[in-house]
Amino acid sequence: AETTLRVATWLPPTNPQNATVWPTWKKWVEEATEGRVEVVIENYTGHPKTIYDAVEDGIYDVGFSVEAYLPGRFKLSGVAEIPGEITDAETGSVALWRTYKDYFEPADEYEGFQLLGLFVHGPGQLHTKFPVNSLDDLKDKKMRVGGGLVNDLAERLEVTPVSAPSPKSYEMMQQGVVDGTFLPAQEQKFFRLSEISTDLTLFPKGLYTTAFSIVMNQDVFEGLSTKDQQAIMSVSGERLSQLAGAAWGKADDNGILEAKEKGVNVVFLAENDQRVKDLNKLAEGIDQIWVDSVTDRDVDAKAALADFRKYVDDINSKK
Amino acid sequence: MQLSRWIEKQYPEPNIYRWIGLILEGIAATVLLLIVLLTCFDVAGRYLFNNSINGAVELTQIGLAIMVFAQMPIITWRGSHVVVDLLDQILGYRIVKILAIFSVFIISTSFYFLAVRIYQLAERSLRRGELTEYLGLPAGHIAQYIALMSWVTAACMLTYGAYCVLKNKNISQSVGE
Amino acid sequence: MSVVFIGFAVLLLLILVFRMPIAFAMGIVGFFGFAILQGLGFDNLFSFRWTAPLTLASNRVVETVQEYSLSVIPLFILMGNIVTRSGLSQELYNASYAFLGHRKGGLAMSTVLACGGFSAICGSSLATSATMAKVAMPPMRKFGYSDSLATASIAAGGTLGILIPPSVILVIYGLLTESSIRELFAAGFIPGMLGIVLYMAAVRYVVWRNPAAGPAGERMTFKERMIALRGIWGVLMLFTIVMGGIYLGVFTPTEAAGIGAGGALVIGFARRSLSLPGLYETLIDTARTSAMLFSVVIGALIFSDFINRAGLPDALLNFVTALDVAPIVVILVILCIYVVLGMVFESLSMLLLTVPVFFPLVASLGFDLVWFGIVVVVVTEISLITPPVGMNVFVLSAVLKDVRAGTIFKGVTPFWCVDILRLLIIVFVFQVSMFLPELLYR
Ligand code: NA
Ligand code: NA
């Protein structure tokens, strides 16, 4: 191969990103460029938030990370993180990419990068050591939370928030430091929450999600021939976003299966369930928090939010 | 006065180095104590008031950075870093000293150049408005502080640190023993 | 691949001959090694783009000094320092001496036990060594123990905690390989206890060879023992709060470090054995030791970035895969590789670099991943005390300025020899690790 792209990845080897997304994209890129570009996937052992610097400064050529680790820098993808917006990871990811293309691209949040894709993990749900028969059951319970808009929701649910990185969930729940955690259903399997939670309560549109971006070093991208640039982008963008979303979504299904197998009480809530209605009421106005937070970006946030919702509905109606 | 005698004993360095050491270690000690209190109040708050301190994790992280780098100049010029001394007796006094001077130059240079890059990265981060995850503080300031302290370390090491090696001064490493 | 060997050679040269502090030696070799892999050569010394390696090193510095999980290092060291300064450790040792002092090497055995207990809860070998050095060293010296036996029992005892649950390292292994964490915890228990027993046997061996290393005292009467016990209620309460709090889930191990330090402060002030200037001196002493340890961790991380980029993990995998031998021989080869890597790596970076590489191969050979996790962690423990880069040994020689690293390495040899024995037992007697998880969960 004429060029080798080094991909920085973190997460465990079995995570869909490493088990499915990277190997598939590697195959796509190598085929599309007829072998002129080779992809090598390397384990990143530093903090995932420094992956952005690592790619921008040429330590790696491609990488992905959580945007919420660097709030203030990446704000616009937060549109997907508003509670109750996405139904599943694939839909959310494709809708996010389309919204980016239509509205966010000129704001240039990815200065110094060639953006290859945007995706979200599945809807964040309730993993608890107690049954959630009504939202009042959550009151004063100690819940682990990460960063982002879910904190606003946690405050409205009147839980006692305990901030910690998500991989700490197992330890903290096992020891009883927290009574539950907000995470996507896949973590029943990956973080082994099925061993220590008694209840998994699934809201149709979840409580939140997390946006990830896949970025490439700008100089490396521009150093490729136009033909190869086009070849890489033909297998990235919406295609890569969809690939990632679908893979992460499938992991949610596996997480739910795992939970059932281990005897966790899995509760699917219907749209007309009182808990869902209560949640929707509580979450009212959080979308405005996001709109207000991006006023310093030259973007029509209201229209972007409306279109994001439209894309989600569009994609779902075609399923 | 008792205080001045205490300072004399703990910081036998000449003037400016004495004050740099005293002030920076004062900061490090205070911050360490604050981290202890923060953790205790955070846990107490979680059980007694159903509320933990907002961003306690992040304050601890920032405190760690302040403490470690406030300490960096003095432990570096006093030569307190971990050294493997397996071959000292074989090499002999003169060679050990020459090698120590070589180390002084390498260490100062690394601190200097690394700090330049850390400072550049900090400025870039501030320009982009990067904030910390839980408290939303500007993320670049802590890196600027690290860069600044690295420069102080480099300057002190190249002057007083080199002097100590040449004059074979050994300052007690552990206080109060 | 040759760049890796050159890198190792230069590292050893800088550490051993040039006597450069280990933190800087590792950082500098890692930095230039990485730059060379990025295309640095003699011809482009001035036109080379230094941004990538500089950013790499900068990121490691900035993120490591803000790593929350490393906050246990200063906090547990502080707890140990306060306990020592308040005279509590002396009383604790008087008590152990009253019970075990009449045996040869009895105090070193109780040190192993205390280190095992302490590191089991705090989960950090470095913090345990630093803490127990302050607590255990002065009394052992007072009772006439040789430096090499005293320090070795601390350094070795400190390694036990990463196997005895709760263990941060096992959680990380579990997340990397998607194996059951509670099974890992259960599996670690018996091998951890076996470690304590074997270390005690190592102490017996040392005093059998050289009775002067750990002299026996006089047997005390029951009354004398009770009097000795009376002095230690404060420190016992502190340890009970820290241990109990973690096991009952009142706080996390990281928080426990802060609670322990706070509790030690309260006890120190209550007994009037801690003055304000004393507190200040304890704080800066702790901060100094911590800053040294953080420097070493940063250097080790930059070095491991270089080794990772040089492709050592993949090369090793290819080497092992190409061997056409029985599965158990493959495991033994992997273990040899770990022992060799462990000579120069810091424990966590070794785990992060090698486990993702080896575990698919191990699984495909039909071995149990829980069992492999225990095996890997035991090898990691060994790496903490083997020369030339044994982190626990360095921490001890940094905290105890008057003991040379060479003395500790010499003293610790019997301990890692029994560790190898324990490793072989775990490898060949499957039940040692798997009895509990199979009984409890399968
Ligand atoms: Na442990
Ligand atoms: Na070692």
Q: Which two tokens stand for residue A247?
A: 């893979």
Read off the pLDDT of each residue in A192-204 and give the average, rounded to a whole number: 92
Looking at residue A21, the DSSP 8-state letter turns out to be I
The predicted pLDDT at position B125 comes to 93
The chains found to touch A (3+ Cβ pairs under 8 angstroms) are B, C
Q: How far apart are CA A46 and CA A41, in angstroms?
A: 15
In this predicted model, which residue has the larger pLDDT, A292 or C167? A292
Strand locations in chain A, DSSP E?
3-9, 37-43, 62-66, 113-120, 124-128, 142-145, 160-163, 180-184, 199-202, 211-217, 265-268
Residue C45 Cα distances to B40, C30, C39, angstroms: 52, 17, 10
Q: Do the chains contact at A195 and C181, CB–CB below 8 Å?
A: yes
The predicted pLDDT at position C349 comes to 66
Residue % of chain A over a pLDDT of 90:
71
Q: Which two tokens stand for residue C224?
A: 């004398």
CA A26 and chain centroid, separation? 21
CB atoms under 10 Å from CB of B127, counted, come to 11
Q: Do the chains contact at C281 and B176, CB–CB below 8 Å?
A: yes
Q: Which two tokens stand for residue C410?
A: 């010499």
Residue A276 Cα distances to A266, A283, B116, B135, angstroms: 16, 10, 53, 30
Asked if the C-beta of A202 comes within 8 angstroms of chain B's C-beta atoms, the answer is: no
CA angle B74, B78, B84 (to 5 degrees): 120
Residue-averaged pLDDT of chain B: 85
Q: Do the chains contact at A163 and B121, CB–CB below 8 Å?
A: no
Q: Which two tokens stand for residue A144?
A: 């682990």
B175 in any annotated domain: no
Please tell me whether residue B55 adopts helix, strand or coil conformation. coil
Amino acid at B112: Y
The predicted pLDDT at position A303 comes to 94
Q: How far apart are CA C39 and CA C49, in angstroms?
A: 9
CA B16 and chain centroid, separation? 17
Q: Are C194 and C425 in contact (CB under 8 A)?
A: yes
Residues of chain A in Cβ contact (below 8 Å) with chain C: 12-14, 42-43, 45-47, 49-50, 53-54, 57-59, 167-168, 170-172, 174-177, 189-192, 195-196
* Interval between CA C221 and ligand 1 midpoint (Å): 35
Among all residues of chain C, which has the CA nearest to that of A189?
A: C178
Q: How far apart are CA B173 and CA B6, in angstroms?
A: 15
Q: Which two tokens stand for residue B37?
A: 């209190």
Q: Which domain holds residue B12?
A: 1-167
Q: Is residue A289 within a helix (H) or strand (E), and if so which, with residue range?
A: helix A286-293
Asked if the C-beta of A292 comes within 8 angstroms of chain B's C-beta atoms, the answer is: no
Please tell me whether residue A114 adopts helix, strand or coil conformation. strand
The predicted pLDDT at position B174 comes to 40
User: What is the least distance, in Å, from the CA of B81 to any CA of chain A?
Assistant: 24
Of the candidates A149, C17, A63, A228, which has an alpha carbon nearest to the alpha carbon of residue B84? C17
User: What is the least distance, in Å, from the CA of B20 to any CA of chain A?
Assistant: 32
Q: Count CA atoms within 13 Å of residue B21 on its CB side.
A: 25
- Most A-contacting residue of C51, C62, C169, C175 (CB-CB within 10 A), to test interface: C175
CA A288 and chain centroid, separation? 21
The predicted pLDDT at position B175 comes to 38
Residue C103 phi/psi, 5° resolution? -90, 155
| Confidence band of A222 (pLDDT split at 50, 70, 90) | very high
Rg over alpha carbons for chain C, rounded to the nearest Å, is 22
Q: Using CA atoms of C204, C205, C206, C207 in order, give the dihedral in degrees to the nearest 10.
A: 50
- B96-126 pLDDT tens trace: 788 888 889 999 999 999 999 999 999 999 9
Count: domains in chain B = 1
Letter string b/e over residues C385-414, b meaning 16 or more CB atoms within 10 A of that residue's CB:
bbbbbbbbbbbbbbbbeebbbbbbbbbbeb
- A252-269 pLDDT tens trace: 999 999 999 999 999 999
3-state secondary structure chain C: CHHHHHHHHHHHHHHHHCCCCHHHHHHHHHHHHHHHHCCCCCCCCCCCCCHHHHHHHHHHHHHHCCCHHHHHHHHHHHHHHHHHHCCHHHHHHHHHHHHHCCCCCHHHHHHHHHHHHHHHHHCCHHHHHHHHHHHHHHHHHHCCCCHHHHHHHHHHHHHHHHCCCCCHHHHHHHHHHCCCHHHHHHHHHHHHHHHHHHHHHHHHHHHHHCHHHCCCCCCCCHHHHHHHHHCCHHHHHHHHHHHHHHHCCCCCHHHHHHHHHHHHHHHHHHCCCCCHHHHHHHHHHHHHHHHHHHHHHHHHHHHHHHHHHCCHHHHHHHHHHHCCCCHHHHHHHHHHHHHHHHHHCCHHHHHHHHHHHHHHHHHHCCCCHHHHHHHHHHHHHHHCCCCCCCHHHHHHHHHCCCCCHHHHHHHHHHHHHHHHHHHHHHHHCHHHHHHHHHHHHC
Of the candidates C154, C147, C153, which has an alpha carbon nearest to the alpha carbon of residue C402? C147
The chains found to touch B (3+ Cβ pairs under 8 angstroms) are A, C
Residue % of chain A over a pLDDT of 70:
100
What string of pLDDT tens digits covers the 442 residues of chain C?
Answer: 688 889 888 987 887 788 788 889 889 999 999 999 988 888 887 778 888 999 999 999 999 899 887 787 788 778 878 877 877 767 777 787 788 778 888 888 888 888 877 776 666 677 778 778 877 888 888 888 898 999 999 989 888 877 877 676 787 787 777 777 778 888 988 999 999 999 999 999 999 988 888 887 777 788 888 887 877 777 778 777 877 777 677 787 778 888 888 988 888 888 888 888 889 989 998 899 889 878 888 887 888 888 888 887 778 788 888 888 888 888 888 888 888 877 766 676 677 767 877 887 888 788 899 999 999 999 888 888 887 777 788 778 877 878 888 888 889 999 989 999 999 999 999 888 888 888 877 7
Q: Is the pTM of this model over 0.90?
A: no
Q: Do the chains contact at C63 and A50, CB–CB below 8 Å?
A: yes
Looking at residue A26, the DSSP 8-state letter turns out to be H
Amino acid at B142: I
Interstrand relation of A3-9 and A62-66 (parallel, antiparallel or unpaired) = parallel
The predicted pLDDT at position C345 comes to 66
- Most C-contacting residue of B20, B39, B105 (CB-CB within 10 A), to test interface: B39
- Residues of chain A found within 8 Å of residue C60, distances taken between Cβ atoms: 46
- Most B-contacting residue of A73, A74, A175 (CB-CB within 10 A), to test interface: A73
Q: Which two tokens stand for residue C63?
A: 């993120």
Q: Which two tokens stand for residue C261?
A: 């330090």
In this predicted model, which residue has the larger pLDDT, A146 or A296? A296
| Confidence band of B176 (pLDDT split at 50, 70, 90) | very low
The residues pairing with A9 across neighbouring beta strands, listed in sequence order, are A43
pLDDT of residue A123 exceeding 70: yes
Amino acid at A233: M
Residue B72 Cα distances to B20, B24, B151, C259, C406, angstroms: 11, 9, 10, 26, 26
ipTM surpassing 0.90: no
- B39-95 pLDDT tens trace: 999 888 878 876 667 778 889 999 999 999 999 999 998 887 777 666 666 777 778
Q: Do the chains contact at B128 and A73, CB–CB below 8 Å?
A: yes
pLDDT of residue A104 exceeding 80: yes
